[in-house]
Structure 1
Amino acid sequence: MEESVVVLLPGLALLFLGLLLRLFRLRVAAAVGRLGAVIWRQLGARLHFPLDHSERPQLISKPSALARYLLQHCGSLARPSLVPWPWSDPHIQTLHSQAWPVGDSSGEVSFARDLLELRDGGVVALDWAVATPRDQGKPRAPSATPSILIVVPNCWGGLTLHVLRLCRLALAQGFYPVVFHRRGQGGCPLVTPALQQFGDPADLIEAVSYIRCRHPSSALVAVSEGSGAGLLLSYLGECGSSSYLKAAVCLSPIFHGQLWFETPLPPPYRWALLIYQKLQLSRYATTLSSVMDVEAALRCSSLRDFEEALFCSKGTGKAGGTEQPAPLDWEGYWEKNEPLRDVDEVAVPVLCLSSWDDPLRGDPRTSLPFDLFRSSPYFLLVLTGCGGHCGLGAGGRGEPCWSHAATLEYFRVVGEFLRAEERGGLGGGGLLPRRRTSTQLPRRRRGTVLRRDRTTPTTAPPTDQPDLPDLFQWHRSYTR
């Protein structure tokens, strides 16, 4: 017996030593992680980054039948996907979703492009997501009338990894995504000396009408990314009950445009956005020099000065297809472009997903319109404790993003709710006033008739689509 114990002693000693080393490594790793988090927070404080918030996600809305229905049937909103540090850091989430290279196979999607000529001769691009590389050549399940998901990127025009992953997940769940690109952005040519103002929905109105003509039997829903919410919210307010959309989602939205431009961003983000926009502007410097002072814009050192130089300087007569009698001053510009200027006219349910620690939005106590969510039955806010700007649960190894899953589930649940309401299956409570819940083809208001002088489109519509009215000129090309 004693000899057996002696023989086992070396093995037991090695096992005990291994356990000690493993425990030591775990403690060292935990200590290094805590030290890294402390250093990162101190660096963020030095650079005036907002700190994360400890509160759990919450739904802020006016009590309504839709809010109750979402809490009962939309599980993603109640169970947000939290990721561990360092991926949960708001700045890593922001950089990963907005600045990460889009060429990796985890987020790449193939697109077919429509170039849509507008009433004033300008051109916008519609990128239809058709397949992921690994799905090409595989038969897809037949779907007669898939829901069309209109994606409005941020106002700087970059096609981010966040948008690509959303399109990929939407394709997998049976949606038909299409990305709207403004004039001169996303590879769309700038054929007229006019850029689109921050909240001018004229181009988007024409694009949505064109999509409706191509797919009259499909439900239309829309999602915006970051500052793209300024355009989507302006569209919903401008069209009101005549909007073709059934529902909308805003991911990390910018609600108060003027306040956002007047509040300085942390220096790394401010300079990154300025340099990117100046590079885009320099491509069209010759064309735009006739309507704006391009040299003054390229010398700007703040986002406010840059926006003011583009749209409030000498000779700005057109922007986004809208005629202006005279150049606008800064206050007049925001009277026309503030995202919430016509918020009382919004007539479709809008879900906003945001986080306390968004480094681009600013202080949530002043940048989020809490009174709007508590008073309007059309607006719902899901506020998470962490997530950065448009990250909202994105992991670092290709894991599905929580905000994407929540967005698509929300559209499905809202569709079920509206169908049940039309059948009178919700006990007569209803979501909203009956005058605003019609799902028939709406009547346009505010003079948005889109007839053109030309008599034939440059390219015939697809054979499986009904004949299009004489409204649009379009051309298809293939990208990516």
Structure 2
Amino acid sequence: MWDALLCLVPTVLLFLTAALLHWSPVRALLERVATRVTWILWKAVYWVLELPTPTHGEWTNALRSDLTGLRLVCKPTALAHHLHLHCPTLLHPSVAAWPQGDPHLQTLASLLWPAEGPSGRGKVHFTRDHFLLSDGGIVALDWAVGLKDEPVVGARWEQHHGSCRTPGCRNSNLPILLVIPNCLGVVTAHLKQLCFLALHCGFCPVVFHRRGLGGCPLTTPRYQEFGDPKDLAQAVTYVHRRHPTAGLLAVSEGSGSGLLLSYLGEYGSSSYLTAAACISPVLHGQLWFETPLPSLYHWGALYYRKLQISRYASALRSVMDMGRLLRCRTLRDVEELMFCGSSSKPTTGAPGEAQSWAEVTKAKAKDWESYWERNEPLRDADEVAVPVLCLCSADDPLVPPLSAPLMSLFRHSPYFLLALTTRGGHCGFARSGRKVGSGGGGSHGTSTSSWSHQAVLEYFQVVGDFLKGEERGRGRRWASGQDVGGPAQGARLRSGTLLARRRRAVQAVHRKRHQSYQPSQDELPEEDLFTWNRSYTR
């Protein structure tokens, strides 16, 4: 009999354990204990990998007092008021809490986690378009044409309109979204998910690859500088001429914002873009290179950069000191050796090599300071003529905190808007409980979506609707005789291209002030007026 009772002891213990786990106080206590133990283990991982513990500072303390966890910093304008009324996703972020919301976990997931879900669902099909630049270089444009297990966009178009041999967006009415990766040219999982969601929201994404990066061949003995917009400008002009009636938008990720902001500032009102957005942008390039990154990210980025350069080591040996370059221990040293000063002139070789050396040496900056005089992303911020939304996180582990002059730029420029969240990491902004593609066209993936994706796409849609409304309003004012431009301006509105009408509309938008709208950043202390002196013009 005792043997039978002893055999029942494990069953009784399991029954009692199950009963205790269903008791709310015990379950809550176990959850707290598990969370605490997980936090201790994660702190140990921080220490082993030499990851800095997030220090939030005064901005995060101000954000914590806000129930939405977001601070929108901008100048009170009609566009800002319109965004305040029609962008609920932007103004009410649902960024995941810890542990999913840990900044390093979000950052690593956005860089390394596969974009497609199980069985490859959510994978985007790209078709590559190589574009020959004026100096003989080549950049690549990857057009997102469809999703796996679905008909390709181009194939569906050809069924109704005939064949088309040129890659790209077949529907001229779709807005084209130009996507710019980081300065290393890595198309991250975060970027692929953005293209996936953009396709479902009615955009035509195209990824821009710099020369020598992203699988694009290097046909010239030099790479593109951090903030040199010449290649991007030629690519934008090429896309516009192929699709002259399509709206053209742009979004950048991380350090790729240096290229986008440089283009917007240097080309000003001549830009073909209607609006732009930067996710976790690098707004001060020199400071970003001079500030040490956490070891885990630094050594990974440095190794990847050297791997890219070593692929063309033989071709670049005549214009760069490859031995010294591959021995560099910081990204700053690599950038300085590639684009500053001059390498030793080759004593032997073909005449073409000497000519290439002379051209590259002439194009190089004299020193580190002069290099950034012509490559700082915001060197021509006063010339920007399209709305630019910057999504930043207070716990970003890869970007230095925003300085007072930068904050003053957002408070005084009518074209710059800053959405600052408490959590999000670097290009993370994960949302728990949401799936990519669930916001239109059904659920096509199982990976967690990003708040930044939906916020940026909603921002583009709202800005487009706002500019169309302003354009219609100007047309009605001219018809009623209230527009001071008279018949001449009316003729321009009727006969001008869509780009010209959109540019006039966006310039008129920011001259208009909405008196009733006062954004929440007014509670912050005022800084001196932000001004950037034009230091270099190509």
The TM-score, its normalising length taken from structure 1, stands at 0.81
CA distance in 2, matches of 1:360, 1:90: 10
Contact 1:152 1:180 in 2 (8 A): yes
Which sits farther off after the overlay, 295-304 or 180-189?
Answer: 295-304
CA distance in 1, matches of 2:360, 2:135: 9
Contact 1:50 1:363 in 2 (8 A): no
Q: Residues 253 and 125 of structure 1: is their aligned pair in 2 closer, same or farther, counting only changes over 3 Å? A: same
CA distance in 1, matches of 2:451, 2:211: 31
Equivalent residue number for residue 480 of structure 2 = none
Matches for 1:369-388 after TM superposition, within 5 Å: 369-388=406-425
Match of 1:190 among 198, 218, 224: 218
Equivalent residue number for residue 128 of structure 2 = 113
Question: 1:64 corresponds to which letter in structure 2?
Answer: T
Which of the two has higher C-alpha Rg? Answer: 2
Matches for 1:64-213 after TM superposition, within 5 Å: 64-102=77-115, 105-136=120-151, 144-213=172-241
Match of 1:404 among 431, 444, 453: 453
Equivalent residue number for residue 384 of structure 2 = 346
Question: 2:406 corresponds to which letter in structure 1?
Answer: P
Aligned to 1:58, what secondary structure does the other structure show? strand
Equivalent residue number for residue 533 of structure 2 = none
Equivalent residue number for residue 481 of structure 2 = none
CA distance in 2, matches of 1:69, 1:140: 36
Aligned to 2:245, what secondary structure does the other structure show? coil
Which sits farther off after the overlay, 241-250 or 299-308?
Answer: 299-308
CA distance in 1, matches of 2:102, 2:226: 29
Q: Residues 163 and 137 of structure 1: is their aligned pair in 2 closer, same or farther, counting only changes over 3 Å? A: closer
CA distance in 2, matches of 1:322, 1:57: 45
Structure 1 residue 74: deviation in Å? 0.8
* C-alpha RMSD of the superposition: 3.2
Aligned to 1:254, what secondary structure does the other structure show? coil
Aligned to 1:150, what secondary structure does the other structure show? strand
Which sits farther off after the overlay, 105-114 or 171-180?
Answer: 105-114
Contact 2:285 2:377 in 1 (8 A): yes
Question: 1:349 corresponds to which letter in structure 2?
Answer: P
Match of 2:263 among 226, 235, 242: 235
Equivalent residue number for residue 446 of structure 1 = none
Match of 1:58 among 71, 87, 96: 71
Contact 2:245 2:498 in 1 (8 A): no
Equivalent residue number for residue 271 of structure 1 = 299
Contact 1:80 1:393 in 2 (8 A): no
Match of 1:334 among 369, 372, 385: 372
Structure 1 residue 101: deviation in Å? 3.9
Equivalent residue number for residue 391 of structure 1 = 428
Structure 1 residue 398: deviation in Å? 0.8
Q: Residues 177 and 137 of structure 1: is their aligned pair in 2 closer, same or farther, counting only changes over 3 Å? A: closer
Q: Residues 322 and 343 of structure 1: is their aligned pair in 2 closer, same or farther, counting only changes over 3 Å? A: farther
Aligned to 1:179, what secondary structure does the other structure show? strand
Contact 1:293 1:314 in 2 (8 A): no
Contact 2:73 2:410 in 1 (8 A): yes
**1:253 and 2:281 are equivalent in the alignment:** yes
Aligned to 2:149, what secondary structure does the other structure show? helix
Contact 1:244 1:442 in 2 (8 A): no
Structure 1 residue 310: deviation in Å? 1.0
Contact 1:93 1:391 in 2 (8 A): yes
Q: Residues 18 and 326 of structure 1: is their aligned pair in 2 closer, same or farther, counting only changes over 3 Å? A: closer
Aligned to 2:448, what secondary structure does the other structure show? coil
Over the matched positions of the two proteins, sequence identity in percent amounts to 52
**1:21 and 2:24 are equivalent in the alignment:** no
CA distance in 2, matches of 1:390, 1:217: 31
Structure 1 residue 28: deviation in Å? 2.6
Aligned to 2:283, what secondary structure does the other structure show? coil
Question: 2:193 corresponds to which letter in structure 1?
Answer: R
Question: 2:272 corresponds to which letter in structure 1?
Answer: Y
Equivalent residue number for residue 334 of structure 2 = 306
CA distance in 2, matches of 1:213, 1:259: 37
Question: 2:255 corresponds to which letter in structure 1?
Answer: S
CA distance in 2, matches of 1:246, 1:318: 38
Structure 1 residue 328: deviation in Å? 2.4
The runs of 5 or more residues in structure 1 that have no matched partner are 1-11, 429-433, 444-480
Aligned to 1:337, what secondary structure does the other structure show? coil
Question: 1:157 corresponds to which letter in structure 2?
Answer: G
CA distance in 2, matches of 1:442, 1:226: 30
CA distance in 1, matches of 2:91, 2:125: 32
Structure 1 residue 323: deviation in Å? 8.6
Equivalent residue number for residue 290 of structure 2 = 262
Structure 1 residue 30: deviation in Å? 3.1
CA distance in 2, matches of 1:345, 1:157: 27
Structure 1 residue 340: deviation in Å? 0.4
Matches for 1:29-40 after TM superposition, within 5 Å: 29-40=31-42
Q: Residues 324 and 92 of structure 1: is their aligned pair in 2 closer, same or farther, counting only changes over 3 Å? A: same
Structure 1 residue 315: deviation in Å? 4.1
Structure 1 residue 21: deviation in Å? 2.8
CA distance in 1, matches of 2:409, 2:296: 31
CA distance in 2, matches of 1:267, 1:255: 22
Aligned to 2:409, what secondary structure does the other structure show? helix
Structure 1 residue 107: deviation in Å? 4.5
Contact 1:200 1:337 in 2 (8 A): yes
Equivalent residue number for residue 51 of structure 2 = 47
Contact 2:275 2:387 in 1 (8 A): yes
Q: Residues 48 and 399 of structure 1: is their aligned pair in 2 closer, same or farther, counting only changes over 3 Å? A: closer
CA distance in 2, matches of 1:372, 1:233: 13
Question: 1:185 corresponds to which letter in structure 2?
Answer: L
CA distance in 1, matches of 2:54, 2:124: 33
Structure 1 residue 159: deviation in Å? 1.1
Contact 2:389 2:419 in 1 (8 A): yes
CA distance in 2, matches of 1:42, 1:374: 40
Structure 1 residue 14: deviation in Å? 8.9
Structure 1 residue 287: deviation in Å? 1.1
CA distance in 2, matches of 1:122, 1:165: 29
